[in-house]
Amino acid sequence: MPALSFPAMRIPIERFTLPNGLAVALSVDHTAPIVAVNLWYNVGSANERPGRTGFAHLFEHMLFQGSEHVGANEHFELVQRAGGTLNGSTWVDRTNYFETVPSNHLATALWLEADRMGALLPAMTQQKLDTQRDVVKNERRWSIDNQPYGTWWEKLPELAFPPEHPFHHSLIGSMEDLSAASLQDISAFFATYYTPDNAVLSIAGDFDPADARTFVTEYFGPIVRGNGRPPLADMRVPERFGDWRRATVPDAVPLPRLFLALRSPVFGSDAYYPASVLGAVLGMGKGSRLQRNLVRGREIASEANGFTLDLAKGSDLLVADVTARPGVAAERLETETAIELDALRRDGVRADELDRALALIETAVVRSLQSAAERADKLSMFATYLGDPGLVNVQLDRYRAVTVDAVNAFAARALGEDNRLSLLYVPRDGAQAA
Amino acid sequence: MTAIGRPEPAPPRPYRFPRYERRVLGNGMRVLVAPMPALPIVTVTIAFDAGAMTEPSGQDGVASLTARALLEGTTRLGSTELSEHLERLGASVVTDADWDAGVVSVTMLRSRLEPALALLAEIVRTPAFPEGDVERLKIERLAEIMQARAEPRGLADDVFARATYAAGSRYARPHRGTATTVSALTRAELAAFHAARFRPGGATIILAGDVTAADAERLAASSFGDLAAGAPAPVPLDDGAARATRALHLAPRAEAPQSEIRVGHVGLPRAHPEYFSVLVMNAILGGLFSSRINLNLREKHAYTYFAFSGFDWRRGAGPFSAATAVQSDVTAPAAREILAEIDAMRATTPKADEVELATSYLAGVFPIKYETTDAVASALAAMAVYGLPEDYFDVYRDRVRGVTAEHVRAAAEKHLHPDALQLAVVGDAAAIRAPLEALAFGPLITYDRDGEPVASP
């Protein structure tokens, strides 16, 4: 049997930076003849100006509408014709674009990314913008407006971050702001944020690093560096909410659902790991506190999960997401979830609970390394957020170093009534079936 | 930026689906092992002949409830203890049933394979189905049914299935069961279903990952080799159509900002000899982003965020359908465009360029689909469940590339049936009913919010 490709579960990483500032991370693995290309731009909805909510995401759609040497919809077509998969996604503080292709098509994938980074604007037209604006409006209707509980990701940050904070406003945007977006906005956003010095390129899979360097240098090298970007507003917020804030949302839902959030340390910080483990103790798997006690034990919930959103700036949010069992009143969701938080804060976690959470996290981390696309995405993520793609290789160590004392210290600080946010969905006009 | 010519692809590098070995235990249980040593993890998947199609009459939902109830404790361990034992091994076990199989699957680090597999065997062989836990699971399932009803997309799927399949076909009803059938299920029925269907004769255990064939065989034999031989009874597959002609099915949802649209008819069974021609035909029609339906509805008309079509492959003839969600005011035009694309697929031979896009996409993404131990285990489970040939994964890419424009045209003519299409829509009836009726598609049948047909006046 061949040796493990990734001894000790560490992936090989080479890094270099082009003179124009583009940071590049390479990770070779010849298991299958496929290669993943992943580009993170350091821009997201947090960078939108007032009156242009949703613009970063609308802009992401426009990046699939062609560039100087690529026709409308040809980006998708060329990658699919090569036998590859592709997409893009927008988050509060980054936008990523990625494709996985048969390894002999690496040059095509890189050329496509370089053409739109270097020369997007010649392909932009009012008609394309109008079409994608309508597509995005339909995306909003589909994923948020016509979906039970679909507004939670808009309501939660609205409550968790103050109005002037860059994470406060809607990521997908309001219909009004989407309507207002213009070609001028496209030009300005592109010039400001879609520059090589504001991006990270990662390549993972079956390739020769020398070839990759040649392609990257040839295609991305001529792109000019940006002129700097405006600083983000101050992201810092107090460590705790300072109160227990509540909102109730009547919606077309059959069962009440509570999102109980608390502020927690930003992704990747030293304090993040105990918080992440606490999230798993609370709500990862059937043996977690919420599932053991609310779903199985007291039988008040039909589903319960706990997780961190993994925000990398300002403050992360640790969220408990609990759906009522039929017949259970909405108010009980909050009191029963609070009982669990109070108990964790008062009595702490047991060693065996920590072991259980760490074992599940360990499996999840190793599983994710199987996919070239995920390896490339993680390289880009750690490079963008923390300046070092190599941090992908110390995640397990950082989790394994978490102690019961560290988790309990975090629980004591963060789980109090002065750091809670309840977003409660209730069935509208008697729609609840008992 | 100076123009740089489009790169040419390098010569393709060879690919083979992971090698696997096959064994059969003395009691008839099949063992498939795919050594994939890139990372120290292993996926174990067991597929039993215990899908929804094998449910006793009147017990809709018993297959998936039984599969889920396996995790609620064994004759030795209560539900909480069992979860803790498993999760302390980093093993999150998934158990569920689809139409054709009851599946138990787990992934964990290689170092924990032996104890995890022992627990998996215990779950499968000696489930306790505790009364209280079964009753709780039923309530959880009823909550899921309520959620699915409240989701326009879930309701549209259910209405479409009911519109497409004959009342006697299991495919007409949700595989998870309905509120009525699930409420009536008993602990004894779950235990009886388990005893009848979770037999070694109908089962395949797959180990994919950092494990040798010898170790896998030894572990499978020690875990399951002493199970008493026997296979579940075969069951007939009823996949008959509800009607031979078109009808429009409308489930009102007041003030919905979008309409959920489903258009289709009874499709083909998974083991169909023209599978590859149909696969490529559908890829051109609506199987990928660059397909006709998506480019038309999304990129040309901006009616929707996405639109696609597909054959839902099952042992029996699962449905063919096109699906999308569009803003309410373009519901009828969007439906008309889908119908036109289905007609066009049959009327003309596709261009060589389109066929090439579809075949190179399907052949190219094949290795990308099978990077993980999970994906390989699932693929081998499907091979076993659908009785695919042993060399299926080795010939897949050649078979796809062998499909021609003429094959596609023939497949469209033979397997798309415009006269038998059912059009199901969930949306704001006040806004969409009149324009939909103006399509003169077929007689209108309306449904209530639970997806039940409303008697015609």
What backbone phi and psi angles, to 5 degrees, belong to A205?
A: 130, -145
Do B448 and B454 touch, CB atoms closer than 8 A?
Answer: yes
- A141 vs B contacts (CB less than 8 Å): 257-258, 305, 325, 327
* CB-closest option in B39, B149, B256 to A370: B39
Do B223 and B104 touch, CB atoms closer than 8 A?
Answer: no
- Calculate helix-pair angle for B152-164, B131-150, nearest 10 degrees: 90
pLDDT tens-digit readout, A33-60: 999 999 999 999 999 999 999 999 999 9
**What span, in angstroms and rounded, lies between the C-alpha atoms of A423 and A261?**
8
Query: Given this model, what pLDDT does residue B271 score?
Result: 94
Query: Given this model, what pLDDT does residue B150 score?
Result: 87
pLDDT tens-digit readout, A303-343: 999 999 999 999 999 999 999 999 999 999 999 999 999 99
**What span, in angstroms and rounded, lies between the C-alpha atoms of B165 and B56?**
19
User: Domain A11-220, what fold?
Assistant: Cytochrome Bc1 Complex; Chain A, domain 1 (3.30.830)
Q: Are residues B363 and A83, on separate chains, in Cβ contact within 8 Å?
A: yes
Beta-carbon count within 10 A of B3 CB: 9
- B373 vs A contacts (CB less than 8 Å): 370
* Helix and strand numbers, DSSP H then E, in chain A: 15, 11
pLDDT tens-digit readout, B146-184: 998 888 999 999 999 999 999 999 999 999 999 999 999
- The ranges of chain A with pLDDT < 50 are 1-3, 432-434
Query: Given this model, what pLDDT does residue B272 score?
Result: 96
Do B75 and B128 touch, CB atoms closer than 8 A?
Answer: yes
Q: What rounded mean pLDDT belongs to chain A?
A: 95
User: Taking the domains of chain B in order of start, what are their residue ranges?
Assistant: 21-224, 247-446
Intervals of CATH 3.30.830.10 along chain A: 11-220, 243-427
Query: Given this model, what pLDDT does residue B145 score?
Result: 93
**What span, in angstroms and rounded, lies between the C-alpha atoms of B106 and A219?**
43
Do A286 and B83 touch, CB atoms closer than 8 A?
Answer: yes
What tokens were used for B451?
């997806």
What backbone phi and psi angles, to 5 degrees, belong to B325?
A: -125, 125
User: Domain B21-224, what fold?
Assistant: Cytochrome Bc1 Complex; Chain A, domain 1 (3.30.830)
CB-based contacts of B138, cutoff 8 Å, min separation 6: B65, B182, B183, B185
Q: Which amino acid is at B142?
A: L
Q: List the one residue out of B298, B338, B344, B340 whose CA is nearest residue B321.
A: B338
Query: Given this model, what pLDDT does residue B255 score?
Result: 85
What tokens were used for A146?
């016509």
3-state class of A403 per DSSP?
coil
* Closest residue, chain B, to A104 (C-alpha): B10
Query: Given this model, what pLDDT does residue A317 score?
Result: 98
Report the top-level CATH class of B247-446.
alpha beta
Query: Given this model, what pLDDT does residue B2 score?
Result: 44
Give the DSSP H/E element, type plus range, for residue B365.
helix B352-369
Q: Which amino acid is at B150?
A: A
What tokens were used for B182?
């699930």
Distances (CA, A) of B384 to A2, B26, B137: 27, 18, 29
pLDDT tens-digit readout, B59-104: 999 999 999 999 999 999 999 999 999 999 999 899 999 999 999 9
**What span, in angstroms and rounded, lies between the C-alpha atoms of B5 and A111?**
9
* Closest residue, chain B, to A112 (C-alpha): B6
3-state helix, strand, coil in chain B (%, to 5): 45, 20, 35
- A303 vs B contacts (CB less than 8 Å): 140, 143
Query: Given this model, what pLDDT does residue A1 score?
Result: 39
* A304 CA to centre of own chain: 21
Superfamily of domain A243-427: Metalloenzyme, LuxS/M16 peptidase-like (3.30.830.10)
Do B48 and B203 touch, CB atoms closer than 8 A?
Answer: yes
Selected for mutation to probe chain A from B79, B108, B147 (highest A CB count within 10 Å) is B147
Asked if A255 is an interface residue toward chain B (Cβ–Cβ < 8 A), one would say yes
* Closest residue, chain B, to A131 (C-alpha): B302
Partnered with residue A319 across adjacent β-strands are A261, A307
Ranges of H-type helices in B348-442: 352-369, 373-386, 392-401, 405-415, 429-437
* B430 CA to centre of own chain: 34
3-state class of B441 per DSSP?
coil
Q: List the one residue out of A361, A355, A299 whose CA is nearest residue A328.
A: A299
Distance from CA of A246 to the nearest CA of B (A): 24
- B326 vs A contacts (CB less than 8 Å): 138
* CB-closest option in A80, A252, A287 to B357: A80
Asked if A33 is an interface residue toward chain B (Cβ–Cβ < 8 A), one would say yes
Q: Are residues B289 and A352, on separate chains, in Cβ contact within 8 Å?
A: no
Query: Given this model, what pLDDT does residue A433 score?
Result: 42
- Taking only residues 125 to 144 of chain A, the set having a beta carbon closer than 8 angstroms to any beta carbon of chain B reads 130-139, 141-143
Do A424 and A253 touch, CB atoms closer than 8 A?
Answer: no
Selected for mutation to probe chain A from B289, B373, B376, B449 (highest A CB count within 10 Å) is B289
Task: State the pTM of this model.
Answer: 0.95
Q: Are residues B304 and A138, on separate chains, in Cβ contact within 8 Å?
A: yes
First to last CA, chain B: 69
3-state class of B179 per DSSP?
helix
Q: Are residues A1 and B80, on separate chains, in Cβ contact within 8 Å?
A: no
Three-state secondary structure of B205-257: EEEEECCCHHHHHHHHHHHHCCCCCCCCCCCCCCCCECCCCCEEEEEECCCCC
Query: Given this model, what pLDDT does residue A4 score?
Result: 57
Distance from CA of B416 to the nearest CA of A (A): 25
DSSP B85-111: HHHTTT---EEEE-SS-EEEEEEEEGG
* Closest residue, chain B, to A251 (C-alpha): B150
Instruction: Show pLDDT as tens, one digit a residue, over chain B (457 residues).
Output: 445 689 999 999 999 999 999 999 999 999 999 999 989 999 999 999 999 999 999 999 999 999 999 999 999 999 999 999 999 999 989 999 999 999 999 999 999 999 999 999 999 999 999 999 999 999 999 999 999 888 899 999 999 999 999 999 999 999 999 999 999 999 999 999 999 999 999 899 999 999 999 999 999 999 999 999 999 999 999 999 999 999 999 999 988 999 999 999 999 999 999 999 999 999 999 999 999 999 999 999 999 999 999 999 999 999 999 999 999 999 999 999 999 999 999 999 999 999 999 999 999 999 999 999 999 999 999 999 999 999 999 999 999 999 999 999 999 999 999 999 999 999 999 999 999 999 999 999 999 988 899 976 4
The sheet with strand A301-308 has its strands ordered as: A243-251, A419-427, A257-264, A316-324, A301-308
pLDDT tens-digit readout, B248-292: 999 999 889 999 999 999 999 999 999 999 999 999 999 999 999
What tokens were used for A76?
């998708």
* CB-closest option in B2, B107, B290 to A73: B290
What tokens were used for B285?
């029609």
Sign of the dihedral through C-alpha A66, A71, A76, A79: negative
* CB-closest option in A102, A352, A355 to B364: A102
